[in-house]
Amino acid sequence: MSSKRLIVILAVLIAFSSDLIGQKKRKNKDDSDTPDLVQSLSKDDKMQAEYYFVEAEKYFILDQYEKALELFEESLKYDDQNSGTYFKIGQTNFSLGKNSEALGPLMKAKELDSTNKYYYIMLADIYTGMADFSQAAEMYEEMMAKIPGNENYLFELAALYLYQNELDKSLEVYEKANDHFGLMEEVVYQKQQIYLKQGKPTLAIDEIRRLVDSYPDVRAYIIDMVKLMIENGQEAEAIVELEKLIEKDPTQTEASIMLSEAYRKTGDREKAMEALKVAFENPSLNFQAKLQLLAGYMAQLPDVQIENLAVELSQRLIDAHPDESKGFAIAGDLQIQLGNKEKALEYYRKAVELDNSNFNLWQNVIQLEMERSDYDKVISHSEEALEYFPNQAVLYYFNGSAHLYKNEYQSAINSFNQGKKFAANNELKSVFHGQLGDAYNGVGDNNNSDLAYEESLKSNPDNDHALNNYSYYLSLRKENLERAIEMSTKLVKKYPENSTYLDTHAWVLYMLGRYEEAKDFLEKAIRDENASGTIIEHYGDVMFKLGDDKKAVELWINAKNKSGASDLIDKKIADKKLYE
C-alpha cells in the first residue's frame, strides 16, 4: 500500500472516530439549514457503523472495491451523518472509475466537515480528471479559504487556471505563492511564460530581472534575461548587461556569442564579428552551439564579409576542437559552398580519420576523389569504407567505376556484380547494369555486355548512358544495327544539341551506309567547340565515303590535334585513304 493512501485512510479513520464520539445532528423538517435537537448515536448504532466501516476498509485495501462499497453503504445506514463514510464511498467509486457517482458522496462529506482538506483534494482530482477545471479550481479556492496552511496547493490552482487560459488569474495565484514562500525560480519562470503568451515581453523581462536582482551572481539568470531582451528587440539593454558580465568574467564565452548576436541585430557587424571570434577560440564553449552558429552564418552566403568570417570561424573551431570530426566536416561543407573542392577534400579526409563510422563523410571524400580522377584513392578509400558499410551500393559503384576508368575490367565487373545486389531501386539497378555493359565490353564479352545493357534499359528505358554506349558498341561491331538506330534516334530527339549523342547516332547511320544523314548529324556535332578528335575523325570518314577526299584529310589532320582520335589517324593522313 502506498504511503499516500495510508495517510488518507488514517485521516479518515480519525475523522470517523471523532464523528462517532461526538453528537449526531438532525435536520429540522421545516428549515433544512437550522439544526434541530442534537441526538447521540445509540451504542448499538455506533458499534454497527464501526464494524461495517472497518470491514469495508479491509476490502478496500485489498482492491475489492465492489464489496467495500457495499459495506460502506451498510455502515451509512447506522450513521448517515458521518463525513468519513461518505468520503470512503466517494473514494471507492472513484477507484471503480465511476467519477460521476463519486461526486455526490464527496460533496456530502465536505458539507458535513468543511475542515478536512482531503475532501477538497479528492474532489479537485476528480473534476480535473473530468476536465472540469473550473470546478477543480473552485475546490482549491474554497479549501484554502477555509483551512489555513495549505498554500502549497497554490501551484495546482495556478495550473488549473492556465488550463482554462485564465492567464490573469494564474498570475494572481503565482504572485500569492511568491508572497507566501518568497521569490521562487519556478514561479518566476511560469510568470515569464504567461507574460510572453500575453504578448507582454517587457513584463516577462522584468520578471526575470527580479531573480537577477536577488541573485546577482547566478549567471544563468542573467543569460536568460538577455536572451529575452535580444529576442524582443531590446538589444541595447542586452549589450549593457552582457558587457558587464564579460567584464566581470572574461571566460563567459556564451555571453560573447550572445553579445555578437546583439551587435549584429543593431547593425554593428564589426563588433559582432570580434565578439564571435573570441567565443570560437575558447575550447570550453559548447561545441554543438558553435556548430549551429557557424551553420547559421553559412546559410547567409554568398556575402563577402560573411564568407571571410565563416572561414575564420571554421578554422578557430578546428583549432579549439582538433579531435571533433564534425568540426572538420563543417569546414569541408563551407569550402564546398565556396567552390574550393581541393580544400574541402582535405577537411573531409581529416574528418573521416577522426570518425570512420560516418558514411556521409566517406561518400564526400570518394565523390571528390572521383571528380579529380584520383582513381587509386577512390579504390583504396571505397574498399576501406566497405569494411564498415558492406551493404552500401554506392561504394561498389565508385569502386567499380574507378577500376573501369583504369581499364581494370575484371575488377570492375566484380564490384558491379556485387553492388547491384544492394541496389534499392530501378534507377540504381539501371546504373549498375549500364556500367557492367561497359566493363564486359572492355573484356570482349559481347554477349554479357548486351545482356547487361538490356537489363539496364529494362530497369530504366531512358538511361542515357546505356542508350548511347550500347548503340555505339553495336555499331562498331556492325551487329543488330536496327536496335542501335532505335536507341540512338531516341537520344538525339531528347538531346538535339549533345555532340556525343549526335556522333553516336551519326556513326550508326554510317554503319548502315546512310552517309548523307550521318554527315548532317556530324555537322551539328562539330559546332561544339569542345568536340573531340573522335567526332572530327568520324566526320572525315563520312566525307571520304561521300567522295570528298580533300575535306576528309583536312578533318583527319584536325582530329589528330585533338584528344580521342584513333590509332589509324596517322595512316589515314599519310595514305590519304580510309582505314576501318
Bridge partners, residue 35, by sequence:
27
Q: What is the mean pLDDT of residues 519-545?
A: 92
Residue 540: pLDDT over 90? yes
> By mean pLDDT, which of 183-192, 227-236, 302-311, 460-469 is the weakest?
302-311
More confident of the two residues 146 and 10: 146
| Amino acid type, 130 | M
Residue 30 pLDDT level (bands cut at 50, 70, 90): very low
- Containing 152, the helix (H) or strand (E) segment is none
By C-alpha distance, which of 99, 96, 112, 11 is closest to 59? 96
pLDDT of 267: 82
Under CATH, which number does the domain 197-282 receive?
Answer: 1.25.40.10
- How many other C-beta atoms lie within 10 A of the C-beta of residue 474? 24
Contacts of 59 (CB under 8 A, 6+ apart): 65, 67, 68, 71
More confident of the two residues 37 and 240: 240
Residue 250: helix, strand or coil by DSSP?
coil
Assigned C-alpha cell, 209: 530581472
**3-state SS record for 401-463:** HHHHHCCCHHHHHHHHHHHHHHCCCHHHHHHHHHHHHHHHHHCCCHHHHHHHHHHHHHHCCCC
Quick: pLDDT tens for 169-212: 999 999 999 889 989 999 999 999 999 999 999 999 999 999 99
Q: What is the mean pLDDT of residues 522-545?
A: 92
pLDDT of 255: 83
Q: How far apart are CA 11 and CA 120, in angstroms?
A: 14
Quick: pLDDT tens for 78-130: 999 999 999 999 999 999 999 999 999 999 999 999 999 999 999 999 999 89
pLDDT of 252: 72
Task: Report whether 116 contacts 11 (CB < 8 A).
Answer: yes
Quick: pLDDT tens for 129-172: 899 999 999 999 999 999 999 999 999 999 999 999 999 999 99
Q: Is the whole-model pTM more than 0.85?
A: no
- How many other C-beta atoms lie within 10 A of the C-beta of residue 198? 13
By C-alpha distance, which of 497, 486, 485 is closest to 521? 497
Q: At what angle do helices 43-61 and 3-21 cross, to 10 degrees?
A: 170
Q: How far apart are CA 93 and CA 87, in angstroms?
A: 10
Give the chain's length. 580
Residue 564: helix, strand or coil by DSSP?
coil
- Containing 272, the helix (H) or strand (E) segment is helix 269-280
Phi-psi region of 30 (alpha: psi -120 to 50; beta: other; left: phi over 0): alpha
By C-alpha distance, which of 227, 178, 175, 223 is closest to 201? 227
pLDDT of 260: 82
Residue 520 pLDDT level (bands cut at 50, 70, 90): very high
Contacts of 430 (CB under 8 A, 6+ apart): 456, 457, 459, 460, 463, 466
Task: Report whether 191 contacts 207 (CB < 8 A).
Answer: yes
Residue 23: pLDDT over 60? no
